[in-house]
Amino acid sequence: MNPTALIADDEPLLRELLEARLAKAWPELQIVAQARNGRQAVELFEQLKPQICFLDVHMPGLSGVEAARVIGRRAHLVFVTAYDQYALEAFEHGVLDYLVKPVTPARLAETVQRLKDRMQAAQPAVHSEALLQQLAQHLQRAQGAPAATERLRWVRASVGQGLVMIPVETIDYLKADSKYTLVAYRDSNDPSGKPAEALIRLPLKELLAQLDPAEFAQVHRSVVVNLRAIRRVQRNDNETADIELKSRSERLPVSRSYLHLFREM
């Protein structure tokens, strides 16, 4: 049986170029799918189960690093990047393979030989959560994420006829709601910190970019949760999960794409 692979890159011409060069370097390799972003890469991987995934590091929505976390050890991973710093770290650790754009035939031949060697030796696919975390942090910095001192501290929201300043640490979760974002927080003026809500016009994506990733995590395309507000994560049969909160009765969905955040459970 011929080996199978998936190529994920948001640039169609680069996907085609890589497939063409792979056809010359490894004629037996069957490219079973091309994905235009990380989310589609995960969906196609789940459908087709290719043995190798070539993942562009920079992709909209779900990055190549995040897609790799979902795929885990179920495929041999090769990162494709225009940025040497990611590639060099991966290479120095010696646990993940990489290609730097534009992919040259000579470098591709080296990667192909390593993949053949691993597959012939029946070596398991490599997966390093620590390295993926490092790569994700580099990616975040490269995308211009604000430094810690520049992160959001307050959210301004209109409640009735007034304006409230909501401290970020009191937010339990954020939920995209049509043109608005629902801010679910605990009222810092109430001794019991009773649950409260407010709607703001700032998009969820824009808010997320200003939050500390060590404190807040996106768990669904429309939901960001404060990790300190989580009481329990209940895994479901369909590779999703529900989050129970410490101070609220509602449950928040965790989609398959973000389940890796709770892999240890």
CATH number assigned to the domain covering 4-143: 3.40.50.2300
* Cα torsion 197, 198, 201, 207: sign: negative
What CA–CA distances, in Å, run from 147 to 83, 141, 143, 152, 207?
21, 8, 12, 10, 14
- pLDDT single digits (tens) 38-87: 889 988 999 999 999 999 887 876 778 888 878 888 899 898 887 655 55
Where exactly are the structural domains of the chain?
Answer: 4-143, 154-262
- For the purposes of burial, counting CB atoms within 10 Å of the CB of 95, is it exposed (0-12), middle (13-18) or buried (19 or more)? middle
Give the mean pLDDT of 100-116.
Answer: 87
| Dihedrals phi, psi of 15, to nearest 5 degrees | -65, -45
Q: Is the pLDDT of residue 265 over 50?
A: no
Q: What is the pLDDT, as a whole number, of residue 93?
A: 52
Q: Which CATH superfamily is domain 154-262 in?
A: LytTr DNA-binding domain (2.40.50.1020)
What CA–CA distances, in Å, run from 230 to 86, 218, 252?
32, 13, 10
**Which of the four pLDDT bands, split at 50, 70 and 90, describes residue 88?**
low
Q: Is the pLDDT of residue 103 over 90?
A: no
